[in-house]
Amino acid sequence: MLDKVPTGFPGVVQLLDWLELPNDILMVLERMEWSQDLHHLIRAQGFLSEEEARELFHQVLQAVWHCTSSGVLHRDIRPGNILVDLDTRQAKLIDFGCGTYLQDTAYTHFAGTWSYSPPAWTHFGWYYGKPATIWSLGILLHQIVCGEHPLRRGRKISWDHQLSLPQWLSPECQDLIRRCLSMLDFGRPSLEELFCDPWMQDIHLS
The number of domains in the chain is 1
DSSP label at residue 147 = S
Catalytic residue among 76, 95, 197, 202: 76
Which CATH number goes with the domain that contains 73? 1.10.510.10
3-state helix, strand and coil shares in percent for the chain, rounded to the nearest 5: 40, 15, 45
Kindly report the pTM of this predicted structure. Answer: 0.92
Note the pLDDT tens digit of each residue in 122-178. 899 999 999 999 999 999 999 999 999 888 765 666 665 568 899 999 999 999 999
Q: Is the dihedral of CA 184, 190, 193, 199 positive or negative?
A: positive
- Verify whether residue 87 is a known catalytic residue: no
Which range of residues forms the domain containing residue 152?
Answer: 2-202
Distance CA 58, CA 52 (A): 10
82-97, pLDDT tens digit by residue? 999 999 999 999 999 9
Residue 122 CB partners (closer than 8 Å, separation 6+): 159
